[in-house]
Structure 1
Amino acid sequence: MPVSHKARRRLSLLILLVGLPLYIIVAVSVINALDRPSILVELLVYVVLGVVWALPFKFIFKGIGQADPDKPDS
């Protein structure tokens, strides 16, 4: 079931405004659970978690910055 461009824009905004801060809290909690490892391990965890969060949402964010292809030309 394809999602309209307008719905994808709204969903991406929701993900960025609500989901991303929650994910950041989870990432910081993971680091705290590891009892503050060395700076290189901490950097590696943040980089991996920073990339992993966006992978499931790739299809939502793709093409959001473009003009609405469903809208007729005026």
Structure 2
Amino acid sequence: MALSYKSRRRLSLLILLVGLPVYIIAAISIIGWLDRPSILVELFIYIGLGVLWAIPLKAVFKGIGQADPNAPQEED
């Protein structure tokens, strides 16, 4: 079952406002548990985790910034 435009838009807002800050806190906590890796290793971990969250959520965010395709067309 595919999500409608409106539900994808609401879900993306929820992910950005709630899920992403939780994910950031978890990523910082994971780095904190390690025995202070070198700055390059730490940088690569942050870059990897920064890309990792977006891959499974790509379908949710795709097309959200555009107009609703199911909305009735306005004629001038």
TM-score category, normalised to shorter length: over 0.9
Q: Deviations over 1:34-62 (max 9, x none)?
A: 12211000000000000000111100000
Q: Percent identical across equivalent pairs?
A: 69
Q: How does 1:25-64 map to 2 (within 5 A)?
A: 25-64=25-64
Quote the offset at 1:33 in angstroms.
1.0
1:71 aligns with 2:71: yes
- List runs of 5+ in structure 1 lacking aligned partners: none
TM-score by length of 1: 0.96
What is the letter of the counterpart of residue 57 of structure 2?
F
The higher radius of gyration belongs to: 2
1:17 aligns with 2:17: yes
- The 1-side partners of 2:19 and 2:57 are apart by 11
- The 2-side partners of 1:39 and 1:51 are apart by 18
Aligned pair count reads 74
Q: Which runs of 4+ in 1 moved over 3 A?
A: none
Quote the offset at 1:64 in angstroms.
0.3
The two structures, once aligned, show a CA RMSD in angstroms of: 0.6
